Amino acid sequence: MLSRAARAVWTRRRGGLLALATVTGTGLAACSAGPGASNSAASDSAGARGDASPGEPCFQSSGKAWDDNWDRMAEVSEKRAAQWAEKAHKSKDARPSRPCRTIVLVRHGQYEQASRKKYMENNEGLDHDWWLEWDAACKLTPLGREQATLAGKRLAEIARAHDYTYDAVYYSDQKRATETAQLILDELEKSGSSNNNNNQEDGPPAHVEQLIREGNPIQPVPASRTYKPSDVDCYEDGSRIEAAFRKHIHRAPLHQHHDTHEILVCHGNVIRYFVCRALQFDPAAWLRFAVYNTGITVIRVGHNGNVSVSAIGDTGHLPAEKVTYS
């Protein structure tokens, strides 16, 4: 039983608490504003999110609690509904087409922590690209390779248990992600958990995707004492990572009639930004949670554009002693 003082606190805060408990995509600015906050504060926050100045995200917030047209494909849902209504009118046996897109995001395994600063200093003034040498040095550790193999086995087991196959695997071109993807693909190939219509190989079609390489999507809020990306880095990386989100996270196109499952092997910052954007949270919140090595994140986009996240950085495939962050 709550005391009178506790009930008073609950009464004052319940609007904000209930809003924060709604994880179907309510914007963070709307949640934190609460019933007693000024409208100007909320509008100022929304305006900041739409400003493309250095350090700010590269999209314009709708200002709504949930934007049904967040992927600019609401018209597709309307056309799909119209097609279904027409088929239902002609035949009682018609079945609605409600395809769901499932995007599985996997962070790379543990890797060798090569000093980026050292490579920059050693190659100062030289013509060749120091970044390529540094990236090549950031290869998976033996534990990282084991983590990736276990992640591949887990993904194959899930596909078998739910009777589906993976339609494609996209992976960052950075060394640690490329190696992780190959080990995952090896396990999917062994299990036959793929949907390769070209019959060119046993595993799912694999594609290098430079858009999902690691970067700084936006200045985090609150600011970190140790992690301080420059505004220039956020401005450059943010555009690329936002483009990656728009390319890979959206509802099914009109020609798609069946569920699809795709895997993206990438990096922690990218994954956290994707989760915030997909749920329409303030993307500046991306640094408030962590994703472990080979952690599995699952984003589902329904035929009507509704989004759910059923896992964030799941490491159930790893024994406790093999769970690492970097």
65 within domain boundaries:
no
pLDDT at 304: 95
Regarding whether 94 and 25 lie in a shared domain, the answer is no
Regarding whether 87 and 43 lie in a shared domain, the answer is no
User: How does residue 23 score in pLDDT terms, banded at 50, 70 and 90?
Assistant: very low
For residue 199, is it left (φ>0), alpha (ψ between -120 and 50) or beta? left
pLDDT at 57: 65
**Averaged pLDDT for residues 71-76:** 96
- For the chain, what is the domain count? 2
99-122 burial, b at 16+ Cβ within 10 Å, e below that, comes to: bbbbbbbbbbbbbeeeeeeebeee
Distance of CA 232 to the CA centre of its chain: 23
213 within domain boundaries:
yes
* Alpha-carbon dihedral sign for residues 118, 122, 124, 129: negative
**Averaged pLDDT for residues 271-290:** 97
**Averaged pLDDT for residues 20-32:** 35
257 within domain boundaries:
yes
Regarding whether 154 and 24 lie in a shared domain, the answer is no
58 within domain boundaries:
no
- Residue-wise pLDDT for 180-232, tens only, equals 999 999 999 998 766 655 444 577 999 999 999 999 999 999 999 999 999 99
* In the predicted structure, residue 273 carries a pLDDT above the cut 90: yes
* In the predicted structure, residue 1 carries a pLDDT above the cut 60: no
Regarding whether 88 and 11 lie in a shared domain, the answer is no
59 within domain boundaries:
no
Regarding whether 186 and 146 lie in a shared domain, the answer is yes
**Averaged pLDDT for residues 240-248:** 98
- Block residue for tokens 């062994």: 190
More confident residue, 105 or 40: 105
pLDDT at 66: 94
Amino acid identity at 156:
A
CATH number of 97's domain: 3.40.50.1240
Regarding whether 146 and 37 lie in a shared domain, the answer is no
Average pLDDT value over all residues in the chain: 82
Share of the chain above pLDDT 70, in %: 74
End-to-end Cα separation, the chain, in angstroms = 45
74 within domain boundaries:
no
* In the predicted structure, residue 276 carries a pLDDT above the cut 70: yes
Regarding whether 154 and 257 lie in a shared domain, the answer is yes
pLDDT at 85: 80
**Domain assignment of residue 187, given as a range:** 79-322
Residue 305 CA to residue 71 CA, distance in Å, equals: 8
Regarding whether 93 and 44 lie in a shared domain, the answer is no
Regarding whether 184 and 43 lie in a shared domain, the answer is no
Question: Does 80 show up as a binding residue in the annotation?
Answer: no
Q: Which tokens is 87 given?
A: 């088929």
211 within domain boundaries:
yes
Distance of CA 185 to the CA centre of its chain: 20
Regarding whether 181 and 102 lie in a shared domain, the answer is yes
Regarding whether 233 and 160 lie in a shared domain, the answer is yes
CA distances from 141 to 87, 145, 179, 314, 321 (A): 55, 6, 10, 20, 15
161 within domain boundaries:
yes
Domain boundary among 30, 50, 70: 50
pLDDT at 13: 37
Regarding whether 133 and 227 lie in a shared domain, the answer is yes
